[in-house]
A and B are shown apart, each in its own frame.
Chain A
Amino acid sequence: MRFLFKTSYEQDLRLFKHGGQVFWYGLLMLLLLAAPFFAGEYLMSQLHFICIYSIVGLGLMLLVGYTGQVSLGHAAFLAAGAYTEALLQAKDVPFLVSLPCAALLAAALGFVVGLPALRLKGIYLAIATLAFNVIVEEVVTRWESLTNGNSGLHLKPVSLFGLDLGGDAGFFYLCVALTVLSVLALMNLLRSPTGRAFVAIRDSEISASCMGVNLAKYKTLSFAISAALTGIGGALYAHKVTFITPEQFTLLQSIELITIVILGGVGFLHGAVLGAAFLIVLPQLIALAKDLLPATMGGSGLQSIVFGLVLIVFIIFEPLGLYGRWLKIRTWFELFPFYRAGMFRRQKSYMKSERLR
């Protein structure tokens, strides 16, 4: 059993709670840094995607998990980042400039989406963001002079400070660096008044505003930051797939992004990374399983069924997501043999009407 004795206010501010965390995360970083040397091309490609979707997942987690908003249209911000990057690179704008531009444009778009969010909640906000996504997708498709419509845009590999980061290793380090920076930025936010304001908005808007939290400011800020992170993910995504078309940023993509947050665990930053990893790994597992199943059960239908089933099973049996399950397992080991069965049980409540939120 590990006891954490609090002896100073500084302790609560620290990013790593105790030495054990430093060790394990350090080990993780070492493994990641060494990965290009022993992992094959396929695995590296998967890792690229995991990083990219982690960044997007972090953005979405901030909005959904920590500020309590809804977004079924985040693929629109992904598209904003991807297309900005593609267009700026075509004009030979250096990556150091184009990436922040992608983030800024996505943030501006996020701000715009955040404005109606001030008046809309729950399902209304979900439908508004859904509509936004569909409209953006259509605009991108039709604005052929800018985006080349359905013919898509090509991207060249990333070039930073003259280094060609197009290869597996270079691009990987770039993605990992951006992921780590995103995590740190969010952790810093969450231990500051801004992060607390977000959580306050999630739990009780009325009392948040009575405590001095400017709802309009913080809601739009949350959307903007979330969109900015998603935009960065979009820019990286564009470089990864090297060829972007509007069809990659549909509503289905938005739904997949949301599942990252749900499967990973709503309300935990780790959840974004775990969810992203799970989302990337799942199709591989399904492909493996396909070989074991009889021939009739092949086809794309299996992927759809498994995806849906996983979502349903997780929500019913593990609402805290992958990270929640990990927390339970870890707590079991930490408190052994004093783990109590009902420790993480949610209070079972009757349906609280969301019409009166």
Chain B
Amino acid sequence: MSFFRAENLGIRFGGVVAVDNVSFEVKRGEVYTIIGPNGAGKTTIFNLIGRIYPATSGRLFFDGKGINDLLPHQVAGLGIARTFQNIELFEHATVLQNLLIGRHRHRRTSLWQELLFLPSARAAELAQREAVEKVIDFLDLAKHRDSLVAGLPYGVRKVVELGRSLATEPRLLLLDEPSSGLNPEETDDMAFWIEDIKKHLGVTVLMVEHDMNLVSRVSDRVLALNMGTVIAEGTPAEVQASPAVIEAYLGKAA
């Protein structure tokens, strides 16, 4: 039984077919990367999985369960977390609060417990804080803990974005271009973190990425898309050597 499966996935916006008959499977514990030129539909697939857009065709299965009819917050409740290409953090909150919101699906207190701040609510808060501190340790965010996100540099925000999705304790992590906008040093850190996420946290990673070095370094398998359709699938080396992929990126040999 595959961990995550997309079958004949497709979506059209009016006359534009953004994703066309895409099928792939992600095995538990692997790092699966989707590559393709801009506009290939990679982020759209993420939005389909997260149920931000409804698919016009095809089905999605997570751990054997169909997720086509769920609402975004229910998808999160199943253990699928994602980062956003253009960083959708909560700007007027601190890094700590951003990460704590990531813990929302683990909320066990009721409204009345919170209004009166009963000892059970207090204990739950402290437990959430401990969980978040583990993420802060993992990503080295300690010195930014109490800073408002609005004033942080881009590189740090990307890490906070990653941290927030890790705080949800996901089973499947969707990373949308984790290295875009990062300098080589930060990209290196990101590579280490992805490897750690895979090996030590046991989280399955589905990633969209442009940086081929990063892709080769951390991915187990790669899917190449162009104009919404699949053009190649396999190990990083296989896909990079595939003529269809080369043509998509560089054009036909004259």
A touching B, CB within 8 angstroms:
yes
A185 on interface, CB distance cutoff 8 Å: yes
Tell me the count of chain A residues lying within 8 A, CB to CB, of chain B.
Answer: 32
Known pairs A9-B130, A210-B82; A188 contacts B117 (CB<8 A)? yes
**CB of A63 to closest CB in B, whole Å:** 16
Identify which of residues 85-138 in chain B touch chain A, using a CB-to-CB cut-off of 8 Å. Answer: 88-93, 96-97, 100-105, 107, 109, 111, 114-117, 121-122, 125-126, 128-130, 133
* Interchain CB contact under 8 A, B90 and A192: no
Q: Which one of B73, B89, B91, B117 contacts A212 once the chains associate, using CB atoms below 8 Å?
A: B73
B72 contacts chain A at the CB level, 8 A cutoff = yes
A211 and B164 contact, CB distance less than 8 A: yes
Tell me the smallest distance from the CB of A138 to a CB of chain B, in Å: 33
Chain A residues whose C-beta falls within 8 Å of the C-beta of B97 in the assembled complex: 196, 199
The residue that A9 contacts in the complex, of B107, B116, B129, with Cβ under 8 A, is: B129
B3 contacts the other chain (CB 8 A):
no
B168 within 8 A of A: yes
| Stretch of A109-117, A201-209, A294-302 with 4 or more beta carbons under 8 angstroms from chain B | A201-209
- The answer to whether A204 and B150 touch (CB under 8 A), given A9-B126, A196-B100, A213-B104, is no
Mask of A195-229 contacts with B, CB within 8 angstroms, 1/0:
11101101110111111111100000100000000
Q: Which residue of B lies closest to A9 (CB)?
A: B129
B52 proximal to A (CB < 8 A): yes
Which residues of A are found within 8 Å of B89, using beta-carbon distances?
203-204, 207
CA distance A208 to B213 in the complex (A): 32
Selected from B90, B103, B128, B164, the residue in CB contact (under 8 A) with A203 is: B90
Instruction: Mark out the residues of chain A between 154 and 213 whose CB falls within 8 Å of any chain B CB in the assembled complex.
Output: 185, 188-189, 191-197, 199-200, 202-204, 206-213
Which of A197, A209, A211, A215 has the largest count of B CB atoms less than 10 A from its CB? Answer: A211
Q: Name the distance in Å between B178's Cβ and chain A's nearest Cβ.
A: 16
Cβ contact within 8 Å between B92 and A202: yes
Given contact pairs A196-B93, A199-B92, a sample of 16 additional A-B residue pairs in the complex whose CB atoms are under 8 Å apart: A13-B122, A192-B117, A193-B103, A196-B104, A199-B90, A199-B97, A200-B93, A203-B90, A204-B91, A206-B72, A208-B90, A209-B72, A210-B76, A211-B105, A212-B77, A267-B92
Task: Supply 27 A–B pairs (Cβ within 8 Å), ascending by A.
Answer: A9-B129, A188-B114, A188-B115, A191-B125, A193-B107, A193-B114, A195-B114, A196-B93, A196-B97, A199-B97, A202-B92, A203-B89, A203-B90, A203-B93, A204-B88, A204-B90, A209-B72, A209-B76, A210-B72, A210-B73, A210-B82, A211-B73, A211-B101, A211-B104, A212-B73, A212-B105, A213-B73
| Residues of A that sit less than 8 Å from B by CB | 9-10, 12-13, 185, 188-189, 191-197, 199-200, 202-204, 206-215, 221, 267, 347
